[in-house]
Structure 1
Amino acid sequence: MGEIVLYGANWCGDCRRAKAWLREHAVPFAEFDVEHDDAARDRAVELAGGRKNIPVVVLPDGRVLVEPTNTELAAAVEV
């Protein structure tokens, strides 16, 4: 599986939870901070269909998850 991309912010509890879950399951991911990177914020909103919810998780196959639960992450990465 290729690398997952996560758009989020340090103050976001759902983002911290998703990152912790990915780390616990040794799933590699790249992280972009939407609070300090305007281009990342714009891309996250675009990927989420105009929604401003985070985290936005982009899977290697192009699927996009917005505010995924741990269960949704597990199903998406097939852990």
Structure 2
Amino acid sequence: MSEESGGVVVYWRPMCPYCIRLLTQIRFTQLEFTKVNIWKHPDAAAFVRSVADGNETVPTVTVAGRAMVNPSKGELLEAVRAYAPHLLSGAADGS
């Protein structure tokens, strides 16, 4: 997925309370990101398993290609500041 290399990608699945929480929290930051439903995209599910010890643990997020399994909003924003700070221009920092 091309977004992986330079942006934020949130791998999620429906009915996941952890996904809902993180997605809701980052929506309020105005951070641009791409959502990928692992139940609709087998390649995405395989990627998540590859970085989550064989499990389909979601949310899994990539920031500029660096994977994080079930990060907090603060951890996600810290990774964006470190690896993709250009994505924060215009986004509220509310960490």
Range into which the TM-score falls when normalised by the shorter chain: 0.7 to 0.9
- State which of 58, 70, 73 in structure 2 corresponds to 1:70: 73
Among all aligned residue pairs of Structure 1 and Structure 2, give the percentage whose two residues are the same amino acid.
27
State how far apart, in whole Å, the 2-side matches of 1:3 and 1:74 are.
12
RMSD, matched Cα: 1.6
| Larger relative helix fraction | 2
Aligned residues: 77
Unaligned 5+ segments in structure 2 are 1-5, 82-92
State how far apart, in whole Å, the 2-side matches of 1:29 and 1:74 are.
12
- State which of 53, 60, 67 in structure 2 corresponds to 1:56: 60
Which structure has the bigger radius of gyration? 2
Partner in structure 1 of residue 87 of structure 2: none
Unaligned 5+ segments in structure 1 are none
The Cα shift of 1:50 comes to 2.3
Q: TM-score, normalised by structure 2?
A: 0.69
